[in-house]
Structure 1
């Protein structure tokens, strides 16, 4: 272990975070030490290099309770965050929890920022987390109990440690966390979520080993700045782009875009298939209806709550990725109560109970009164806010389980001519065909997206083009496209709540051996004074790559012209479709750049040289009753 410094942490030190990538570690250390004595009750030890079992050292910062600048002796519970995004960004958390009687530890993941080693996507984080926890447990300031904190990848490092069974780990709060990557949210029913192409592009250029060299960093930044042009030249091949300068990032991305099957490549953080390996500790899962990991968050709750003896909690808000502190997302406002205004205090309540043994609100009052807390969207008045947003509204509700026991699973059949009906079709023959041209994919307008910086919008949006959509810049509704099949109900005669997991069960055929099918659920607002053209609000969506129609583990190409049953898993939601609204489902074969575009050729994934235009057919007759299955919740 190398030497470390002990000092009082400046607060806030925002300039460090904003300028880190432009400074050498030596310059950063000098700048940090120059600003002292602004906080007397927190001491920090920076860049402690902690040994992993293979000799690689990971850079670690430690925040300790102090008095008048002097570290206070004692054995404290520890809050740990392991992150690839620069541990310096955890200063606010470190100050908060150290002042609250915890030791806070922030560690750069392997190969990121100040840590040694080679970065790999999550595969080292279980073992490294165990080694870090063991080291923490041996320190005089630790009482041997660790709770973890963090969002997204940093939520994934919590799952990784829990699956690895770190003895010192006492509780986790994974928010919007990486998990089950071969099922949904990375490989999504065989399709690749392009936000991870974007993540690699962005993060190879900052915090990577390659980016420590200024000249290399400049080349990688130029690549980042030209991402739109690189999107037009997929698939990505080894050694053909500047990404070759960060080889560990290039190799992972190419492999990830090739591995459509939920195979051994995706073993890390596969909670659904390794639930028994998850450590039996209290778990609080946090997700959002518009988060990119929403489907895995609810699936993890369903699995872990049946397996662990310890309490497992779930909260799902109307949030985008990492957006728990806000009440509006995209073009939609959900009302002030939608926000978790004090994101640190409610976590502290959880940690105080499980790490300090305090008798507090856990199990008694919201958001800890019941195992499940949901925000039911859609009960607003539909007016326009002063900020120009749709007042979709909603409210919180406590529940005991997920999915809800009182759910009425109801088939809504897609009818020839574009209607939706609860009655099955009776026609002996009925179908609708459309042309899917991979050269002109359906553009993405909002949805369950993260790491979309610069190429995608998150959350709820009117499904209409404009200058905010780079690949659909004219003010045309998506429903005008001829490659989207639009099915919608008559205006509802009463409010209808849809809360739960959603699937589209379709009967399809194609002129090609492989293609994609997509489904999007839309809440159609009628025209009003505030919204003269109405508002087509995306609620949730999903995709299926046809070669994975029978199994996520094995590929099987189609026979052109043969009719197949398929199931598209949409992301879960909770939404009230109000009286006068219409329920709409859009069926198509692309949603770009949310998902990679299927070239329709049947070539190996991420290795095609050709594209084919497909004629895709949705069958709608009595023997092939395509439908959307909605989880309706009866009025209480």
Structure 2
């Protein structure tokens, strides 16, 4: 019989018969009984779950450390079990102190994130702290909070917070030896630098890694006045929530299209709600290098408040985010007479790679894991020396800079700051030549069109971009045939040209516009074939490059329009290098006027604030690079006389 054929009455009768059959249990079986332990009216989630840690080789403490104004900062302390007389390693961060333990392993070295594994293996007490207003900490979050003073009328900053934190740790972590080292990269490197403005006596050693030192001159926000607009996502991720905010939503997969269609960077930001963000409003009101930027530039402040803390200023040769800060902080301190306790280290790395594996830099492969070797053989023994009193196999030199061609570390008893370097002009020549001899004259022109800016990577360029970390070593052949990119090349080299220091771009140019940007790239052109490594045949490897916004050619604080069709000099420093151009290679210099969408477009007409340029302000301009009587354009190279090597 089909159920669908049953009438309502028959269905009801069937249900009753089934119930009766269920109630009449077979002989020998008891009816189901409900006992009190079966009933649960409370939540199945306990109020305070505690993981049994009898097998753990460490103890984790979550504490709230009070600051001098009563605000409490969330701090995670991880202590090796049975530890005593151990040093403490402190990192202060806006990136969630609880997230530095990424595994619930019972073994400390496996539980911490990659950057701390070697420190855990060395028996350190590890401490991570949320800065004010972020994640578990109380207080108000202010982006890279300026030091107490004209820009910060309160009594606290990240200098006082570091002091108060260290004072508490020394008194409240009995397993420690009362000595603290500080470390951290990027923003966390900035917190280390801030602590050094007035360090607690228990702070015995420090390592700011790729620190944010001057956000206008050459770290995260601007490079010589050109806005790094892809970092606008950081504004929403960092300042829309106490935890992690979301990035800016994208209409298209390709950010080249997204930023081009938006118009100006300001239009893009404010269409996405940035006016709600106090940081953006302060930021957007100060496009020039005025007091807002100068009074919080740490390379200016550190020499005014020098510390005696031994400090290692560390960054990467191809740091795509903060390539400015460490070397400029070190140079400023060295120039002010504080070189004895300050050391410069530049490795073959991208931003913060020191805390990860370092087998390669894009297509450049090293003979070992350079980061692990450096942590284990250099930085940890150096910290141990000041925190445990152990001896060093050899003193840390004034500077250690990796030689990516010879694949070795070079040690320098005295590394010359840029202001002391002897520079040799490498001149742009006629017929797209490049050489150390005097140029014969003339100039080369290109049309810079804001509607078709030069990309910094081959398109498409998505927001989540795996190539971002290594874009500074990307093969530049992808722009070589563009009519708005000038490529000047030497003949094939017959001897090695060793460059150690900061090259200086020195362009003489005229433009039909009243503003404009200039990008200069120093490039190593590989031989056409390489049987051992075919992908490197003809590779155009950037060695050092940067961008300069033309309105700041006379003053960073007081920009001015460029006089149309009048030759002007644009002179700016490129990132520091330690490089050998080998025989069989050629040296190339590329010049262009955009690097998009990493940097915002210059409208090439004078406007008070480029962030808010109107669509009609964006105009084509013909740019002429002079290499004759009107100006001998060149890249000034710090050609080395000799090198002391540490193999």
TM-score by length of 1: 0.79
Which whole-Å CA distance do the structure 2 matches of 1:264 and 1:441 have between them?
30
Are positions 1:611 and 2:643 aligned together? no
Are positions 1:184 and 2:218 aligned together? yes
State how 1:499-518 maps to structure 2 within 5 Å.
Answer: 499-518=500-519
Aligned to 2:138: 116
Change (3 A) 1:64 1:334: closer
CA contact (8 A) 1:540 1:570 kept: yes
CA contact (8 A) 1:507 1:563 kept: yes
Farther-moved stretch of structure 1 (229-238 vs 328-337): 229-238
Which whole-Å CA distance do the structure 2 matches of 1:339 and 1:122 have between them?
27
CA contact (8 A) 2:350 2:469 kept: no
Q: Structure 1, residues 478-499: CA drift from partner, whole Å, max 9, x if none?
A: 1100111111101101122112
Aligned to 1:199: 234
Change (3 A) 1:276 1:143: farther
Q: State which of 132, 152, 163 in structure 1 corresponds to 2:165.
A: 132
Aligned to 2:411: 398
Q: State which of 379, 396, 402 in structure 2 corresponds to 1:375.
A: 402
State how 1:573-592 maps to structure 2 within 5 Å.
Answer: 573-592=577-596
Q: Structure 1, residues 77-105: CA drift from partner, whole Å, max 9, x if none?
A: 32210011111233327776567454322
Aligned to 2:639: 632
Are positions 1:597 and 2:601 aligned together? yes
Aligned to 2:74: 59
Are positions 1:83 and 2:93 aligned together? yes
Aligned to 2:292: 264
Query: Once the 2 structures are TM-superposed, how far is the Cα of residue 443 of structure 1 from its aligned partner?
Result: 1.0
Bigger Rg over Cα: 2
Change (3 A) 1:152 1:319: same
Which whole-Å CA distance do the structure 2 matches of 1:492 and 1:360 have between them?
41
Unpaired runs of 5+ in structure 1?
A: 1-26, 212-216, 380-393, 465-475
More strand by share: 1
State how 1:16-35 maps to structure 2 within 5 Å.
Answer: 33-34=50-51
Q: State which of 525, 542, 545 in structure 2 corresponds to 1:541.
A: 545
Aligned to 2:451: 439
Which whole-Å CA distance do the structure 1 matches of 2:536 and 2:214 have between them?
42
Change (3 A) 1:453 1:107: farther
C-alpha RMSD of matched pairs (Å): 3.2
The secondary structure found in structure 2 opposite 1:358 is coil
Which whole-Å CA distance do the structure 1 matches of 2:371 and 2:289 have between them?
37
CA contact (8 A) 2:186 2:212 kept: yes
Aligned to 2:322: 293
CA contact (8 A) 2:217 2:224 kept: yes
CA contact (8 A) 2:232 2:269 kept: no
Which whole-Å CA distance do the structure 1 matches of 2:471 and 2:75 have between them?
35
Which whole-Å CA distance do the structure 2 matches of 1:95 and 1:626 have between them?
49
CA contact (8 A) 1:290 1:319 kept: yes
Which whole-Å CA distance do the structure 2 matches of 1:624 and 1:611 have between them?
28
Are positions 1:279 and 2:322 aligned together? no
Q: Structure 1, residues 40-73: CA drift from partner, whole Å, max 9, x if none?
A: 3x21111x12223343322111122423xxxx5x
Query: Once the 2 structures are TM-superposed, how far is the Cα of residue 579 of structure 1 from its aligned partner?
Result: 0.8
The secondary structure found in structure 2 opposite 1:264 is helix
TM-score by length of 2: 0.78
Change (3 A) 1:593 1:164: farther
Which whole-Å CA distance do the structure 2 matches of 1:477 and 1:83 have between them?
38
